[in-house]
Structure 1
Amino acid sequence: MENEMLKVFDQQGNCIGTATRSEVHKSGHWHETFHCWFTERIDNEEFLFFQVRSSTKKDYPKLLDITAAGHILADESPVDGLREVKEELGIELAMEDLHSLGVIKDSLKCPDLIDNELCHVYLYDQPQPFDHYRLQREEVSGIMMASLTEFENLWFRQVEQIKVKGFLMSVNDEKESHSMLVSKRDFVPHEDTYIESVIKAIKKL
């Protein structure tokens, strides 16, 4: 995986070559990713769905994150990112099922990773019952949902905690209903500008 080839870009989004995934993250090159947010409208309220990252993940284990996401390889286009939804969630979608939210920049930094992403962001707004999910256990250990309004208030520090609910996978690979109180620290630390852009785009749709 670390030897996968990715396109690299300058700050203006111009492709300037290719590099391995490990080099991209070491040097902080801008590169393309695919992000797919699941939403559902329930009783006139919008809900966002988050994957729970596996405890075995090298980066940000056990934290809540984008419903499905992954890198776009050098020989791929954004449509190829749909494989991430199938691989991580076990749900097969077509590009016609999604709403494009455009390309949104995001930057994540930790001691051994500089992840500068040009994110091709999409919205999927059709209901998917929890029993339709077939999770890739080495990547995802559960699915949680939260009110979009409550998530926005949490992210921008209007409240300290919100309740999320969904399911976690048991040691026997069974879905177990689960709800919990979470704080902002329980989410992958995306940039505020990225989260703000996603929320605004969802509200427009």
Structure 2
Amino acid sequence: MRVEDEQLAVFDEHGNRIGVASRSEVHTKGYWHETFHCWLAHFDESRGETIIYFQLRSDEKKDFPRLLDITAAGHILSQENIEDGVREVHEELGLLITIDELQSLGIVKGQLFQRNMIDRELTHVFLYSKPVEYDEFQLQLEEVSGIFHCTLQDFKALVQQTKEEIDIEGFLVNETGKKDFIKQRVSYHHFVPHERSYFFEIIERISAHL
């Protein structure tokens, strides 16, 4: 089955399920639908700061290639439970994390508008708060080409526009399949353009748990 043909449950703005539609129809008509977001973040005692991780979307992605995004995310299919969304962590990142190891951060409503797509999500957000070593990541390269991190405080400053650029570090998987470790400065336009209100909500909820 093509990704566009996947069947998603659709909801009204109050979260009441009202039917099922294909993924392409959901995004064309702007139906509310459920998604799963998992953020990796932990408190680094040696630095005294919270660290947050982002995936770098693959060059092959149809939408927002080569931009930094939620650590792992995906759609919940019509026949799935929210807990089934943890498969995205397995598939995209290669981390064998169970739903019981995640902390629920609740539901966040979000909307993303671009040409030919209206993306209205009822997002079930989860947090994995244990440190992960870079060699533990086995990326699904057609989806994700690298993993990067920064301090939560720096990311907040970028979203608040009190900083124009921040430092991130992490790795890219090169053509031979090896991880190249790099540091670089990025600005807000290097991230997928989720609503700033979504990012503020995530930062606040992660901060409350760490």
TM-score (norm. length: structure 2): 0.96
CA distance in 1, matches of 2:162, 2:54: 20
Q: Report the CA distance between 1:71 and its aligned residue.
A: 0.2
CA distance in 1, matches of 2:117, 2:140: 23
CA RMSD of aligned residues (A): 0.6
CA distance in 1, matches of 2:168, 2:181: 11
CA distance in 1, matches of 2:131, 2:151: 15
Counterpart of 1:74 in 2: which secondary structure?
coil
**What are the Cα deviations for residues 123-180 of structure 1, in whole angstroms up to 9, with x where unaligned?**
0010110000000000000000011000000011001000000000101110010111
CA contact (8 A) 2:53 2:147 kept: yes
Superposed counterparts of 1:154-165, under 5 Å: 154-165=158-169
Tell me which of 72, 77, 102 is aligned to 1:98: 102
Counterpart of 1:136 in 2: which secondary structure?
coil
Counterpart of 1:147?
A: 151
Q: Say whether 1:39 aligns with 2:22.
A: no
Counterpart of 1:2 in 2: which secondary structure?
helix
Aligned residues: 205
- Amino acid paired to 1:200: E
Q: Give the unaligned 5+ runs of structure 2.
A: none
Counterpart of 1:185 in 2: which secondary structure?
helix
Quick check: 140-149 or 103-112, which moved more?
103-112
Superposed counterparts of 1:1-205, under 5 Å: 1-42=3-44, 43-205=47-209
Identity across the alignment (%): 48
Structure 1 residue runs of 4 or more that deviate by more than 4 Å after TM superposition: none
Q: Give the unaligned 5+ runs of structure 1.
A: none
Q: Report the CA distance between 1:97 and its aligned residue.
A: 0.6
- Amino acid paired to 1:4: E
